[in-house]
Amino acid sequence: MTEAMHQILVVEDDDGIRNVLRVLLTAENYRVVEATTAHRADIEARSHKPDLLLVDLGLPDGDGLGVIERVRAWSPVPIVVLSARTREVEKIAALDAGADDYVTKPFSAPELLARVRASLRRSVRGTERLAMLRIGVTDIDLEQRRAKDGDRDVHLTPLEYRVLESLVRHGGKIVRSQQLLREAWGPDRSGDTRTLRVCMKNLRDKLERDPRRPEFLVTETGLGYRLLLP
């Protein structure tokens, strides 16, 4: 099956720890993007739209809490804190800022990977039917990012998976174009409806029986899109 690997943004200024995380995550077939400052983390989060963030709280140009709050303002992406701060009040502050989990340093590699997998699963399973769905004759595994039409692999891009995940999270309701753009592309592209139309056309070409008369990826004129499933 065709698979689009999950991408993780590692926000960590310690070279040694960052190198360990890179090796650990790539060995598990995750794609890794790195940032060593809060400023760079903001840029990488907006440009790469990672599937999960690993965030250290002690950064040279600011607190990781600020990174969490700024990302959470426009994205529901899972955020796992990886920090040497062990006081309960500090953990609570991170969770209140929008983090989904908290791992203290020094960390156990198996535990960290388990927390990452769990956070990704929770993100993908925003609704009970989210992880696995069938659109027409195509079976799609959103958790593993694999799609198959019978014996034929269907290639969907990471962006196309993010659009599908956003539509499924809303459970068949209309998703406004601006909201879909924020969730899949980031806040800087919330007005780029042309790019969204191109992406939806590509998805229909791959998944709909008749892309000109879509049954599943439906346009709600003047509003946005919705995913209709049996």
Q: What is the DSSP letter of 48?
A: H
pLDDT category, 126, cuts 50, 70, 90? low
| 47, 66, 229 from 43: Cα distances, Å | 6, 13, 36
Decide: pTM greater than 0.75. Answer: no
- Measured distance between the N- and C-terminal CA atoms of the chain, rounded to whole angstroms: 24
Q: What is the DSSP letter of 20?
A: H
Mean per-residue pLDDT over the chain, rounded: 88
46-94 pLDDT tens trace: 999 899 999 999 999 999 999 999 998 888 889 999 999 888 888 888 9
Residue 119's CB is within 10 A of a number of other CB atoms, namely 21
Q: Where are the domains of the chain?
A: 2-124, 132-227
Q: What is the DSSP letter of 74?
A: T
108-119 pLDDT tens trace: 999 899 989 888
192-212 pLDDT tens trace: 888 999 999 999 999 999 999
Q: Which CATH class is domain 132-227?
A: mainly alpha
Residue with tokens 């780029």, as numbered in its chain: 192
Identical fold for domains 2-124 and 132-227, yes or no, is no
pLDDT category, 4, cuts 50, 70, 90? low
The architecture (CATH level 2) of 2-124 comes to 3-Layer(aba) Sandwich (3.40)
Assigned token pair, 85? 């701060």
User: What is the per-residue DSSP string for 138-176?
Assistant: EEEETTTTEEEETTEE----HHHHHHHHHHHHTTTS-EE
